[in-house]
Chain A
Amino acid sequence: MKRTHTFFCFVLLCGVLAAASPFWGMSAISPSSIWTAGHPDAEIFWRLRLPRTLAAFLAGAGLSISGMVFQALLRNPLATPFTLGVSSGAALGASVSFRLGTFLPFFSSLGSLGAALAGGLLSMLLVYLITRARGGFSTLSMLLAGVIINFFFSSLIMLTQYLSDTRDSLRIMHWLMGSLAGLEVFRIADLAFVVIAGALIIRHFSMEIDLLAAGEELAASRGVQTVRAKISIFAAASIIVGTVVSLTGPIGFVGMMIPHICRLWLGWAHRTLLPATFFLGGCFLVVCDLFARSILAPAEMPIGILTALIGGPFFLWVLFKSCRHGELF
Protein backbone atom coordinates (compact mmCIF):
# COMPACT_ATOMS: atom_id res chain seq x y z
CA MET A 1 0.00 0.00 0.00
CA LYS A 2 2.81 2.39 0.87
CA ARG A 3 4.43 1.70 -2.49
CA THR A 4 1.28 2.69 -4.35
CA HIS A 5 1.12 5.81 -2.21
CA THR A 6 4.61 6.91 -3.19
CA PHE A 7 3.81 6.14 -6.78
CA PHE A 8 0.66 8.21 -6.62
CA CYS A 9 2.61 11.18 -5.26
CA PHE A 10 5.20 10.74 -7.99
CA VAL A 11 2.54 10.66 -10.68
CA LEU A 12 0.89 13.74 -9.17
CA LEU A 13 4.19 15.61 -9.21
CA CYS A 14 4.77 14.67 -12.85
CA GLY A 15 1.24 15.77 -13.69
CA VAL A 16 1.74 19.17 -12.07
CA LEU A 17 5.09 19.64 -13.84
CA ALA A 18 3.56 18.67 -17.17
CA ALA A 19 0.58 20.96 -16.67
CA ALA A 20 2.89 23.86 -15.83
CA SER A 21 5.29 23.21 -18.70
CA PRO A 22 3.51 25.25 -21.41
CA PHE A 23 3.98 28.31 -19.20
CA TRP A 24 7.73 27.83 -19.12
CA GLY A 25 10.29 27.94 -21.86
CA MET A 26 12.27 30.57 -23.73
CA SER A 27 9.97 33.16 -22.18
CA ALA A 28 7.75 32.55 -19.20
CA ILE A 29 4.05 33.14 -19.68
CA SER A 30 1.88 34.26 -16.82
CA PRO A 31 -1.32 32.21 -16.49
CA SER A 32 -3.43 35.35 -16.27
CA SER A 33 -2.34 36.68 -19.68
CA ILE A 34 -3.52 33.72 -21.70
CA TRP A 35 -7.15 34.75 -21.37
CA THR A 36 -6.47 38.22 -22.76
CA ALA A 37 -7.30 38.15 -26.45
CA GLY A 38 -4.61 39.66 -28.66
CA HIS A 39 -1.94 39.51 -25.98
CA PRO A 40 1.26 38.11 -27.57
CA ASP A 41 1.67 35.66 -24.71
CA ALA A 42 -1.82 34.31 -25.35
CA GLU A 43 -0.92 33.81 -29.01
CA ILE A 44 2.26 31.91 -28.08
CA PHE A 45 0.39 29.84 -25.52
CA TRP A 46 -2.59 28.79 -27.66
CA ARG A 47 -0.86 28.57 -31.04
CA LEU A 48 2.51 27.11 -30.09
CA ARG A 49 2.98 25.90 -26.55
CA LEU A 50 -0.31 24.14 -25.88
CA PRO A 51 -0.42 22.13 -29.15
CA ARG A 52 3.19 21.18 -28.63
CA THR A 53 2.59 20.08 -25.06
CA LEU A 54 -0.37 18.01 -26.23
CA ALA A 55 1.73 16.44 -28.97
CA ALA A 56 4.48 15.61 -26.48
CA PHE A 57 1.98 14.07 -24.08
CA LEU A 58 0.34 11.94 -26.76
CA ALA A 59 3.65 10.82 -28.24
CA GLY A 60 5.03 9.90 -24.82
CA ALA A 61 1.86 8.08 -23.84
CA GLY A 62 1.71 6.21 -27.14
CA LEU A 63 5.34 5.14 -27.08
CA SER A 64 5.06 4.06 -23.44
CA ILE A 65 1.95 1.93 -23.77
CA SER A 66 3.24 0.22 -26.89
CA GLY A 67 6.54 -0.37 -25.11
CA MET A 68 4.56 -1.89 -22.25
CA VAL A 69 2.82 -4.24 -24.66
CA PHE A 70 6.04 -5.32 -26.36
CA GLN A 71 7.74 -5.95 -23.02
CA ALA A 72 4.84 -8.00 -21.73
CA LEU A 73 4.29 -10.11 -24.81
CA LEU A 74 7.97 -10.78 -25.41
CA ARG A 75 8.66 -11.08 -21.69
CA ASN A 76 11.71 -8.93 -22.05
CA PRO A 77 12.30 -5.48 -20.55
CA LEU A 78 14.59 -4.62 -23.44
CA ALA A 79 11.91 -5.29 -26.04
CA THR A 80 10.87 -1.88 -27.27
CA PRO A 81 9.53 -0.42 -30.50
CA PHE A 82 13.19 0.17 -31.31
CA THR A 83 14.63 -3.25 -30.64
CA LEU A 84 11.79 -4.77 -32.66
CA GLY A 85 12.59 -2.72 -35.73
CA VAL A 86 9.31 -0.81 -35.89
CA SER A 87 11.03 2.54 -35.47
CA SER A 88 13.76 1.86 -37.99
CA GLY A 89 11.12 0.78 -40.48
CA ALA A 90 9.29 4.04 -39.95
CA ALA A 91 12.55 5.95 -40.18
CA LEU A 92 13.42 4.26 -43.46
CA GLY A 93 9.99 5.12 -44.83
CA ALA A 94 10.43 8.76 -43.91
CA SER A 95 14.00 8.95 -45.29
CA VAL A 96 12.98 7.44 -48.61
CA SER A 97 10.07 9.86 -48.87
CA PHE A 98 12.39 12.83 -48.22
CA ARG A 99 14.74 11.60 -50.92
CA LEU A 100 12.07 10.79 -53.49
CA GLY A 101 10.16 13.95 -52.68
CA THR A 102 12.82 15.99 -54.51
CA PHE A 103 12.11 14.20 -57.84
CA LEU A 104 8.51 13.16 -57.57
CA PRO A 105 5.97 15.64 -56.31
CA PHE A 106 3.62 12.73 -55.67
CA PHE A 107 5.82 11.48 -52.86
CA SER A 108 6.16 14.81 -51.19
CA SER A 109 2.39 15.25 -51.23
CA LEU A 110 1.99 11.81 -49.72
CA GLY A 111 4.39 13.10 -47.14
CA SER A 112 6.66 11.44 -44.72
CA LEU A 113 3.67 10.50 -42.56
CA GLY A 114 2.24 7.80 -44.78
CA ALA A 115 5.68 6.55 -45.77
CA ALA A 116 6.82 6.24 -42.17
CA LEU A 117 3.62 4.51 -41.13
CA ALA A 118 3.97 2.10 -44.03
CA GLY A 119 7.62 1.49 -43.12
CA GLY A 120 6.74 0.76 -39.50
CA LEU A 121 4.02 -1.70 -40.47
CA LEU A 122 6.28 -3.27 -43.10
CA SER A 123 8.96 -4.00 -40.52
CA MET A 124 6.37 -5.47 -38.14
CA LEU A 125 5.13 -7.67 -40.98
CA LEU A 126 8.69 -8.77 -41.76
CA VAL A 127 9.35 -9.57 -38.10
CA TYR A 128 6.11 -11.55 -38.12
CA LEU A 129 7.02 -13.48 -41.27
CA ILE A 130 10.58 -14.24 -40.13
CA THR A 131 9.28 -15.45 -36.78
CA ARG A 132 6.65 -17.60 -38.43
CA ALA A 133 9.20 -19.10 -40.79
CA ARG A 134 11.22 -20.14 -37.77
CA GLY A 135 8.13 -21.97 -36.51
CA GLY A 136 6.01 -20.70 -33.64
CA PHE A 137 6.14 -17.30 -32.04
CA SER A 138 8.89 -17.65 -29.51
CA THR A 139 10.24 -14.57 -27.83
CA LEU A 140 13.74 -15.29 -28.99
CA SER A 141 12.72 -15.57 -32.64
CA MET A 142 10.93 -12.23 -32.48
CA LEU A 143 13.82 -10.41 -30.83
CA LEU A 144 16.28 -11.90 -33.31
CA ALA A 145 14.07 -10.93 -36.21
CA GLY A 146 13.87 -7.40 -34.75
CA VAL A 147 17.64 -7.14 -34.53
CA ILE A 148 18.06 -8.34 -38.12
CA ILE A 149 15.46 -5.88 -39.43
CA ASN A 150 17.10 -3.08 -37.46
CA PHE A 151 20.53 -3.67 -38.98
CA PHE A 152 19.15 -4.08 -42.44
CA PHE A 153 16.99 -0.96 -42.33
CA SER A 154 19.74 1.10 -40.72
CA SER A 155 22.02 0.36 -43.64
CA LEU A 156 19.23 1.21 -46.07
CA ILE A 157 18.77 4.54 -44.27
CA MET A 158 22.48 5.22 -44.59
CA LEU A 159 22.34 4.31 -48.27
CA THR A 160 19.43 6.70 -48.80
CA GLN A 161 21.38 9.40 -47.01
CA TYR A 162 24.49 8.70 -49.08
CA LEU A 163 22.51 8.98 -52.30
CA SER A 164 20.91 12.27 -51.22
CA ASP A 165 22.23 15.78 -51.73
CA THR A 166 23.31 17.78 -48.72
CA ARG A 167 19.95 19.41 -48.18
CA ASP A 168 17.96 16.17 -48.10
CA SER A 169 20.67 14.45 -46.13
CA LEU A 170 20.47 17.14 -43.46
CA ARG A 171 16.69 16.87 -43.39
CA ILE A 172 16.90 13.12 -42.91
CA MET A 173 19.51 13.47 -40.18
CA HIS A 174 17.47 16.09 -38.36
CA TRP A 175 14.35 13.96 -38.60
CA LEU A 176 16.23 10.95 -37.26
CA MET A 177 17.07 12.87 -34.08
CA GLY A 178 13.39 13.17 -33.23
CA SER A 179 11.69 16.47 -32.61
CA LEU A 180 8.31 17.84 -31.62
CA ALA A 181 8.88 21.22 -33.24
CA GLY A 182 6.74 22.22 -36.16
CA LEU A 183 3.94 19.71 -35.79
CA GLU A 184 0.73 21.04 -37.36
CA VAL A 185 -2.43 21.16 -35.28
CA PHE A 186 -4.42 18.82 -37.54
CA ARG A 187 -1.65 16.24 -37.25
CA ILE A 188 -2.05 16.39 -33.48
CA ALA A 189 -5.71 15.48 -33.92
CA ASP A 190 -4.63 12.42 -35.96
CA LEU A 191 -2.15 11.53 -33.27
CA ALA A 192 -4.78 11.86 -30.54
CA PHE A 193 -7.18 9.65 -32.43
CA VAL A 194 -4.64 6.86 -33.02
CA VAL A 195 -3.13 6.93 -29.53
CA ILE A 196 -6.46 6.98 -27.72
CA ALA A 197 -8.06 4.35 -29.95
CA GLY A 198 -4.95 2.18 -29.58
CA ALA A 199 -5.00 2.58 -25.80
CA LEU A 200 -8.65 1.49 -25.71
CA ILE A 201 -7.89 -1.60 -27.80
CA ILE A 202 -4.98 -2.49 -25.51
CA ARG A 203 -7.24 -1.98 -22.50
CA HIS A 204 -9.77 -4.32 -24.05
CA PHE A 205 -7.05 -6.97 -24.25
CA SER A 206 -5.53 -6.27 -20.82
CA MET A 207 -6.30 -9.69 -19.40
CA GLU A 208 -4.97 -11.42 -22.51
CA ILE A 209 -1.77 -9.40 -22.14
CA ASP A 210 -1.48 -10.54 -18.51
CA LEU A 211 -1.93 -14.16 -19.54
CA LEU A 212 0.43 -14.00 -22.50
CA ALA A 213 3.02 -12.40 -20.23
CA ALA A 214 2.62 -15.38 -17.91
CA GLY A 215 3.45 -17.74 -20.76
CA GLU A 216 1.83 -18.88 -23.96
CA GLU A 217 0.95 -22.37 -22.74
CA LEU A 218 -0.63 -21.00 -19.61
CA ALA A 219 -2.56 -18.46 -21.67
CA ALA A 220 -3.86 -21.17 -24.01
CA SER A 221 -4.84 -23.35 -21.07
CA ARG A 222 -6.84 -20.46 -19.64
CA GLY A 223 -8.74 -20.08 -22.89
CA VAL A 224 -6.85 -17.38 -24.79
CA GLN A 225 -6.66 -17.81 -28.56
CA THR A 226 -3.01 -16.97 -28.44
CA VAL A 227 -2.15 -16.38 -32.08
CA ARG A 228 -5.17 -14.20 -32.75
CA ALA A 229 -4.70 -12.22 -29.53
CA LYS A 230 -1.00 -11.68 -30.19
CA ILE A 231 -1.58 -10.43 -33.72
CA SER A 232 -4.32 -7.99 -32.63
CA ILE A 233 -2.27 -6.65 -29.74
CA PHE A 234 0.94 -6.30 -31.76
CA ALA A 235 -0.96 -4.63 -34.59
CA ALA A 236 -2.49 -2.05 -32.23
CA ALA A 237 0.89 -1.30 -30.64
CA SER A 238 2.66 -1.13 -34.02
CA ILE A 239 0.15 1.30 -35.47
CA ILE A 240 0.60 3.56 -32.43
CA VAL A 241 4.39 3.47 -32.79
CA GLY A 242 4.26 3.91 -36.56
CA THR A 243 2.05 6.98 -36.21
CA VAL A 244 4.06 8.55 -33.39
CA VAL A 245 7.40 7.95 -35.09
CA SER A 246 6.13 9.24 -38.42
CA LEU A 247 5.10 12.53 -36.80
CA THR A 248 7.95 13.12 -34.38
CA GLY A 249 10.85 11.04 -35.66
CA PRO A 250 12.29 8.27 -33.54
CA ILE A 251 12.24 9.35 -29.88
CA GLY A 252 14.06 6.54 -28.16
CA PHE A 253 13.95 4.87 -24.77
CA VAL A 254 10.62 6.34 -23.58
CA GLY A 255 8.92 3.06 -24.47
CA MET A 256 11.41 1.13 -22.38
CA MET A 257 11.88 3.29 -19.30
CA ILE A 258 8.34 4.30 -18.42
CA PRO A 259 6.67 0.86 -18.44
CA HIS A 260 9.64 -0.56 -16.58
CA ILE A 261 9.36 2.03 -13.82
CA CYS A 262 5.59 1.54 -13.58
CA ARG A 263 6.02 -2.24 -13.32
CA LEU A 264 8.47 -1.88 -10.44
CA TRP A 265 5.88 0.11 -8.55
CA LEU A 266 2.55 -1.35 -9.58
CA GLY A 267 3.31 -4.95 -10.49
CA TRP A 268 2.02 -6.76 -13.49
CA ALA A 269 -1.72 -6.45 -13.74
CA HIS A 270 -1.99 -4.57 -17.02
CA ARG A 271 -5.42 -3.22 -16.27
CA THR A 272 -3.94 -0.89 -13.66
CA LEU A 273 -0.56 -0.65 -15.36
CA LEU A 274 -1.99 0.73 -18.59
CA PRO A 275 -3.43 4.04 -17.33
CA ALA A 276 -0.38 4.66 -15.14
CA THR A 277 2.00 4.01 -18.05
CA PHE A 278 -0.11 6.17 -20.36
CA PHE A 279 -0.16 9.12 -17.98
CA LEU A 280 3.42 8.89 -16.76
CA GLY A 281 4.77 8.38 -20.29
CA GLY A 282 2.90 11.45 -21.47
CA CYS A 283 4.11 13.61 -18.58
CA PHE A 284 7.67 12.37 -18.99
CA LEU A 285 7.90 13.46 -22.60
CA VAL A 286 6.24 16.81 -21.84
CA VAL A 287 8.89 17.52 -19.20
CA CYS A 288 11.67 16.30 -21.54
CA ASP A 289 10.33 18.63 -24.21
CA LEU A 290 10.37 21.51 -21.76
CA PHE A 291 14.08 20.87 -21.17
CA ALA A 292 14.76 20.30 -24.87
CA ARG A 293 13.40 23.70 -25.77
CA SER A 294 14.85 25.66 -22.85
CA ILE A 295 18.34 24.25 -22.15
CA LEU A 296 20.00 25.64 -25.27
CA ALA A 297 17.57 28.55 -25.74
CA PRO A 298 17.13 30.27 -28.10
CA ALA A 299 18.26 27.18 -30.03
CA GLU A 300 16.41 23.95 -29.54
CA MET A 301 17.80 20.54 -28.73
CA PRO A 302 16.25 17.58 -30.58
CA ILE A 303 14.21 15.74 -27.96
CA GLY A 304 15.41 12.33 -29.21
CA ILE A 305 18.94 13.23 -28.13
CA LEU A 306 17.72 14.18 -24.66
CA THR A 307 15.70 10.99 -24.10
CA ALA A 308 18.61 8.92 -25.39
CA LEU A 309 20.97 10.67 -22.94
CA ILE A 310 18.67 9.71 -20.07
CA GLY A 311 17.72 6.35 -21.55
CA GLY A 312 21.17 4.96 -22.34
CA PRO A 313 22.32 4.73 -18.72
CA PHE A 314 18.86 3.45 -17.74
CA PHE A 315 19.12 0.71 -20.37
CA LEU A 316 22.49 -0.33 -18.91
CA TRP A 317 21.05 -0.32 -15.39
CA VAL A 318 18.21 -2.64 -16.48
CA LEU A 319 20.68 -4.88 -18.28
CA PHE A 320 22.99 -5.22 -15.28
CA LYS A 321 20.13 -5.64 -12.87
CA SER A 322 18.58 -8.43 -14.95
CA CYS A 323 21.96 -10.13 -15.27
CA ARG A 324 22.43 -10.04 -11.53
CA HIS A 325 19.05 -11.56 -10.81
CA GLY A 326 19.48 -14.11 -13.56
CA GLU A 327 16.09 -13.23 -14.93
CA LEU A 328 14.76 -10.62 -17.24
CA PHE A 329 12.34 -8.82 -14.96
Chain B
Amino acid sequence: MEQTMLHIQQFSFALEGNSILDGLSFSLAKGEYLSVIGPNGAGKSTLLKCLMRVHEHGTSRGEIRLKGRLLSEYAQRTLAALVSYVPQAGGWVPPFTVEELLRLSRYPYLAAGGVLGKTDQEAVKKALYLTDMHMLASRRLTSLSGGERQKAFVAAALAQETEIILLDEPASFLDPKHTAELNRLIRVLHREHGVTMLTVTHDLNHPLCMEGKILVLRQGRQLFFGQTQEMLRKNILEDAFSHQFICFPHPGTGRPTLLAKE
Protein backbone atom coordinates (compact mmCIF):
# COMPACT_ATOMS: atom_id res chain seq x y z
CA MET B 1 0.00 0.00 0.00
CA GLU B 2 1.25 3.46 -0.84
CA GLN B 3 1.98 5.53 2.19
CA THR B 4 0.63 9.09 2.21
CA MET B 5 3.51 11.37 2.98
CA LEU B 6 1.85 14.75 2.81
CA HIS B 7 -1.84 15.47 3.05
CA ILE B 8 -3.17 19.01 2.78
CA GLN B 9 -6.85 19.67 3.38
CA GLN B 10 -8.53 23.05 2.78
CA PHE B 11 -5.40 24.86 3.87
CA SER B 12 -5.48 28.67 3.91
CA PHE B 13 -2.86 31.05 5.15
CA ALA B 14 -2.95 34.80 5.78
CA LEU B 15 -0.27 37.29 6.80
CA GLU B 16 -1.45 40.46 8.53
CA GLY B 17 -4.96 40.01 7.17
CA ASN B 18 -3.85 39.45 3.56
CA SER B 19 -4.84 36.06 2.27
CA ILE B 20 -1.83 34.41 0.64
CA LEU B 21 -2.95 30.80 0.27
CA ASP B 22 -6.61 29.91 -0.08
CA GLY B 23 -8.16 26.47 0.20
CA LEU B 24 -5.34 24.18 -0.98
CA SER B 25 -6.11 20.46 -0.96
CA PHE B 26 -3.84 17.76 -2.29
CA SER B 27 -1.84 14.81 -1.10
CA LEU B 28 1.43 13.18 -2.06
CA ALA B 29 2.47 9.58 -1.64
CA LYS B 30 5.92 8.56 -0.44
CA GLY B 31 8.52 9.04 -3.15
CA GLU B 32 6.42 11.28 -5.37
CA TYR B 33 7.73 14.37 -7.10
CA LEU B 34 5.65 17.55 -7.06
CA SER B 35 6.42 20.67 -9.07
CA VAL B 36 4.72 23.83 -7.91
CA ILE B 37 4.28 26.45 -10.61
CA GLY B 38 2.40 29.70 -11.00
CA PRO B 39 2.97 33.39 -11.66
CA ASN B 40 4.90 35.63 -9.27
CA GLY B 41 3.04 36.24 -6.05
CA ALA B 42 0.96 33.08 -6.38
CA GLY B 43 2.07 31.89 -2.94
CA LYS B 44 4.45 29.14 -4.06
CA SER B 45 7.29 29.97 -1.70
CA THR B 46 4.82 30.67 1.10
CA LEU B 47 3.54 27.12 0.75
CA LEU B 48 7.07 25.79 1.30
CA LYS B 49 7.55 28.10 4.27
CA CYS B 50 4.29 26.89 5.80
CA LEU B 51 5.52 23.32 5.43
CA MET B 52 8.72 24.25 7.29
CA ARG B 53 6.78 26.32 9.81
CA VAL B 54 8.86 29.43 9.25
CA HIS B 55 5.89 31.80 9.37
CA GLU B 56 5.12 31.74 13.05
CA HIS B 57 3.07 34.92 13.07
CA GLY B 58 0.65 34.24 10.21
CA THR B 59 -2.80 32.75 10.69
CA SER B 60 -3.71 29.48 9.04
CA ARG B 61 -6.86 27.43 8.64
CA GLY B 62 -7.37 23.89 7.47
CA GLU B 63 -4.83 21.19 8.09
CA ILE B 64 -1.50 19.87 6.91
CA ARG B 65 -0.61 16.33 7.83
CA LEU B 66 2.84 14.81 7.48
CA LYS B 67 2.83 11.01 7.65
CA GLY B 68 -0.66 11.21 9.12
CA ARG B 69 0.32 13.55 11.94
CA LEU B 70 -0.72 17.20 12.11
CA LEU B 71 2.12 19.56 11.21
CA SER B 72 1.45 21.66 14.31
CA GLU B 73 2.04 18.64 16.54
CA TYR B 74 5.64 18.26 15.42
CA ALA B 75 8.45 19.76 17.46
CA GLN B 76 10.70 21.86 15.22
CA ARG B 77 13.52 19.33 15.53
CA THR B 78 11.36 16.31 14.76
CA LEU B 79 10.02 18.18 11.76
CA ALA B 80 13.57 18.91 10.62
CA ALA B 81 14.37 15.21 10.79
CA LEU B 82 11.55 14.66 8.28
CA VAL B 83 11.67 17.72 6.00
CA SER B 84 14.72 19.55 4.65
CA TYR B 85 15.00 22.62 2.50
CA VAL B 86 17.10 23.95 -0.37
CA PRO B 87 16.90 27.76 -0.49
CA GLN B 88 16.45 29.88 -3.57
CA ALA B 89 19.58 30.26 -5.70
CA GLY B 90 21.25 33.62 -6.03
CA GLY B 91 20.69 34.77 -2.46
CA TRP B 92 23.21 35.70 0.18
CA VAL B 93 25.37 32.78 1.27
CA PRO B 94 27.00 32.45 4.66
CA PRO B 95 30.81 32.24 4.51
CA PHE B 96 30.89 28.68 5.85
CA THR B 97 32.90 25.99 4.14
CA VAL B 98 30.88 23.35 2.28
CA GLU B 99 31.61 20.81 4.98
CA GLU B 100 30.60 23.20 7.76
CA LEU B 101 27.30 23.81 5.99
CA LEU B 102 26.66 20.09 5.80
CA ARG B 103 27.57 19.57 9.43
CA LEU B 104 24.93 22.12 10.41
CA SER B 105 22.34 19.90 8.75
CA ARG B 106 22.87 17.36 11.51
CA TYR B 107 21.38 19.75 14.06
CA PRO B 108 18.08 17.86 14.47
CA TYR B 109 19.98 14.77 15.58
CA LEU B 110 22.41 16.40 17.99
CA ALA B 111 22.28 17.14 21.70
CA ALA B 112 22.84 20.73 22.83
CA GLY B 113 26.30 22.09 22.12
CA GLY B 114 26.46 20.31 18.79
CA VAL B 115 29.15 17.64 18.73
CA LEU B 116 28.86 15.36 15.71
CA GLY B 117 28.96 11.64 16.35
CA LYS B 118 30.15 8.90 14.01
CA THR B 119 26.82 8.45 12.21
CA ASP B 120 26.58 12.21 11.70
CA GLN B 121 30.01 12.36 10.14
CA GLU B 122 29.17 9.44 7.89
CA ALA B 123 25.96 11.15 6.74
CA VAL B 124 27.95 14.27 5.88
CA LYS B 125 30.54 12.27 3.98
CA LYS B 126 27.89 10.31 2.10
CA ALA B 127 26.10 13.48 1.03
CA LEU B 128 29.39 15.00 -0.15
CA TYR B 129 30.16 11.99 -2.34
CA LEU B 130 26.61 11.62 -3.69
CA THR B 131 26.63 15.19 -4.95
CA ASP B 132 30.26 15.08 -6.07
CA MET B 133 31.09 17.89 -3.70
CA HIS B 134 33.84 16.09 -1.78
CA MET B 135 36.54 17.85 -3.80
CA LEU B 136 35.18 21.20 -2.68
CA ALA B 137 34.47 20.23 0.93
CA SER B 138 36.90 22.69 2.49
CA ARG B 139 36.13 25.60 0.16
CA ARG B 140 34.09 28.51 1.45
CA LEU B 141 30.64 28.90 -0.08
CA THR B 142 31.46 32.51 -0.94
CA SER B 143 34.30 31.34 -3.18
CA LEU B 144 32.11 28.92 -5.19
CA SER B 145 30.20 29.56 -8.40
CA GLY B 146 26.41 29.80 -8.35
CA GLY B 147 25.99 26.23 -9.58
CA GLU B 148 28.42 24.82 -7.03
CA ARG B 149 26.74 26.73 -4.23
CA GLN B 150 23.37 25.28 -5.16
CA LYS B 151 24.85 21.79 -5.24
CA ALA B 152 26.26 22.42 -1.79
CA PHE B 153 22.79 23.32 -0.51
CA VAL B 154 21.34 20.17 -2.10
CA ALA B 155 24.13 18.21 -0.40
CA ALA B 156 23.23 19.90 2.89
CA ALA B 157 19.59 18.87 2.49
CA LEU B 158 20.78 15.31 1.83
CA ALA B 159 22.99 15.28 4.90
CA GLN B 160 19.87 15.98 6.91
CA GLU B 161 18.63 12.51 5.85
CA THR B 162 14.98 13.45 5.52
CA GLU B 163 12.15 11.76 3.66
CA ILE B 164 10.97 15.03 2.15
CA ILE B 165 13.06 17.72 0.47
CA LEU B 166 11.61 21.14 -0.37
CA LEU B 167 13.35 23.08 -3.12
CA ASP B 168 12.64 26.77 -3.68
CA GLU B 169 13.53 27.68 -7.26
CA PRO B 170 16.77 25.72 -7.04
CA ALA B 171 17.87 26.54 -10.57
CA SER B 172 16.87 30.17 -11.07
CA PHE B 173 19.87 32.38 -11.83
CA LEU B 174 21.87 29.38 -13.02
CA ASP B 175 23.16 29.05 -16.58
CA PRO B 176 21.76 26.23 -18.80
CA LYS B 177 24.66 23.86 -18.12
CA HIS B 178 24.38 24.17 -14.35
CA THR B 179 20.59 23.97 -14.52
CA ALA B 180 20.82 20.69 -16.43
CA GLU B 181 23.41 19.37 -13.99
CA LEU B 182 21.29 20.30 -10.99
CA ASN B 183 18.18 18.76 -12.53
CA ARG B 184 20.12 15.56 -13.21
CA LEU B 185 21.20 15.46 -9.57
CA ILE B 186 17.65 16.06 -8.34
CA ARG B 187 16.37 13.29 -10.62
CA VAL B 188 18.93 10.81 -9.33
CA LEU B 189 18.09 11.62 -5.73
CA HIS B 190 14.40 11.29 -6.38
CA ARG B 191 14.53 8.05 -8.36
CA GLU B 192 17.29 6.18 -6.62
CA HIS B 193 16.78 7.31 -3.08
CA GLY B 194 13.00 7.51 -3.00
CA VAL B 195 12.95 11.00 -1.52
CA THR B 196 9.61 12.83 -1.75
CA MET B 197 10.29 16.22 -3.31
CA LEU B 198 8.42 19.50 -3.66
CA THR B 199 10.00 21.93 -6.06
CA VAL B 200 8.89 25.49 -6.64
CA THR B 201 9.96 26.48 -10.12
CA HIS B 202 9.54 29.14 -12.79
CA ASP B 203 10.81 26.81 -15.49
CA LEU B 204 7.63 25.35 -17.02
CA ASN B 205 9.62 22.57 -18.66
CA HIS B 206 10.99 21.38 -15.35
CA PRO B 207 7.79 19.47 -14.40
CA LEU B 208 7.59 18.01 -17.90
CA CYS B 209 10.98 16.35 -17.59
CA MET B 210 10.57 15.26 -13.96
CA GLU B 211 7.61 12.92 -14.49
CA GLY B 212 5.80 13.80 -11.32
CA LYS B 213 2.69 15.60 -10.30
CA ILE B 214 2.11 19.26 -10.72
CA LEU B 215 0.41 21.91 -8.62
CA VAL B 216 -0.59 25.14 -10.34
CA LEU B 217 -1.30 28.15 -8.14
CA ARG B 218 -2.71 31.54 -9.00
CA GLN B 219 -3.28 34.27 -6.44
CA GLY B 220 -3.10 31.76 -3.66
CA ARG B 221 -5.73 29.46 -5.14
CA GLN B 222 -5.19 25.97 -6.39
CA LEU B 223 -5.88 26.00 -10.12
CA PHE B 224 -4.81 22.46 -10.83
CA PHE B 225 -3.32 19.41 -9.16
CA GLY B 226 -2.56 16.24 -11.06
CA GLN B 227 -0.51 14.74 -13.89
CA THR B 228 1.27 16.98 -16.37
CA GLN B 229 -0.44 15.37 -19.39
CA GLU B 230 -3.83 16.29 -18.01
CA MET B 231 -2.66 19.83 -17.32
CA LEU B 232 -1.55 20.24 -20.93
CA ARG B 233 -4.82 18.82 -22.22
CA LYS B 234 -6.92 21.21 -20.15
CA ASN B 235 -4.95 24.34 -21.10
CA ILE B 236 -4.41 25.19 -17.46
CA LEU B 237 -1.31 27.28 -18.07
CA GLU B 238 -3.11 29.85 -20.25
CA ASP B 239 -5.44 30.42 -17.33
CA ALA B 240 -2.71 30.57 -14.73
CA PHE B 241 -0.37 32.94 -16.52
CA SER B 242 -2.91 34.79 -18.72
CA HIS B 243 -0.57 34.09 -21.59
CA GLN B 244 -0.52 31.77 -24.61
CA PHE B 245 1.86 28.79 -24.77
CA ILE B 246 2.88 26.45 -27.57
CA CYS B 247 3.39 22.79 -26.74
CA PHE B 248 5.47 20.69 -29.12
CA PRO B 249 7.48 17.46 -28.90
CA HIS B 250 11.14 18.05 -28.09
CA PRO B 251 13.15 17.35 -31.29
CA GLY B 252 15.66 15.27 -29.35
CA THR B 253 13.66 13.37 -26.75
CA GLY B 254 10.10 13.61 -28.05
CA ARG B 255 8.98 14.83 -24.62
CA PRO B 256 6.34 17.59 -24.66
CA THR B 257 8.01 20.99 -24.42
CA LEU B 258 6.49 24.36 -23.67
CA LEU B 259 7.32 27.71 -25.15
CA ALA B 260 5.67 31.02 -24.34
CA LYS B 261 4.19 32.75 -27.37
CA GLU B 262 5.74 36.05 -28.44
Contact = CB atoms under 8 A, between A and B. Distances in A.
Contact of A220 (B52, B78, B81, B113): B52
Given A204-B112, A206-B114, A217-B54, A222 B94 contact: no
Given A224-B76, A267-B140, A214 B54 contact: no
B114 A222 contact: no
A292 B160 CA distance: 51
Interface centre among B76, B87, B100, B142 (most CB of A within 10 A): B76
Contacts of B114: 206-207, 210, 271
A298 interface: no
B104 A215 contact: no
Contact of A135 (B57, B100, B142): B57
B104 A207 contact: yes
A127 interface: no
Nearest to B83: A221
Contact of A206 (B76, B94, B113): B113
B248 interface: no
Interface string B184-198: 000000000000000
Contact of A225 (B49, B76, B84, B92): B76
Contacts of B105: 222
A217 B14 CA distance: 18
A49 interface: no
A52 to B, nearest CB: 34
A182 interface: no
Nearest to B77: A223
A218 B53 contact: no
Contacts of A329: 95
Given A204-B112, A211-B107, A267-B140, A221 B96 contact: no
A222 B108 CA distance: 6
Interface string A301-329: 00000000000000000000000000101
Interface residues of B, number: 37
A128 to B, nearest CB: 14
Nearest to A263: B95
A269 B113 contact: no
Interface string A265-296: 00111010000000000000000000000000
Contact of B56 (A210, A221, A227): A227
Contacts of A226: 56
A67 B256 CA distance: 56
Interface centre among B54, B92, B114 (most CB of A within 10 A): B114
Nearest to B110: A207
A216 interface: yes
Contacts of B77: 223
B14 to A, nearest CB: 13
Contact of B76 (A210, A218, A220, A269): A220
B85 A214 contact: no
B94 A217 contact: no
Given A211-B107, A214-B101, A215-B94, A222 B160 contact: yes
A18 interface: no
Contact of B104 (A75, A136, A211, A217): A211
A-B CB proximity, top 6 nearest: A223-B80, A207-B114, A221-B85, A223-B108, A223-B77, A214-B94
Interface of B: 16, 49, 52-54, 56-57, 76-81, 83-85, 87, 91-92, 94-97, 100-101, 104-105, 107-108, 110, 112-114, 140, 142, 160, 166
13 contacts: A204-B112, A210-B114, A214-B96, A217-B85, A218-B87, A221-B80, A222-B84, A223-B81, A225-B76, A226-B56, A263-B95, A268-B96, A327-B142
Given A217-B85, A220-B53, A223-B76, 10 more contacts: A75-B94, A206-B113, A207-B114, A211-B104, A211-B107, A214-B94, A216-B54, A223-B108, A224-B76, A271-B114
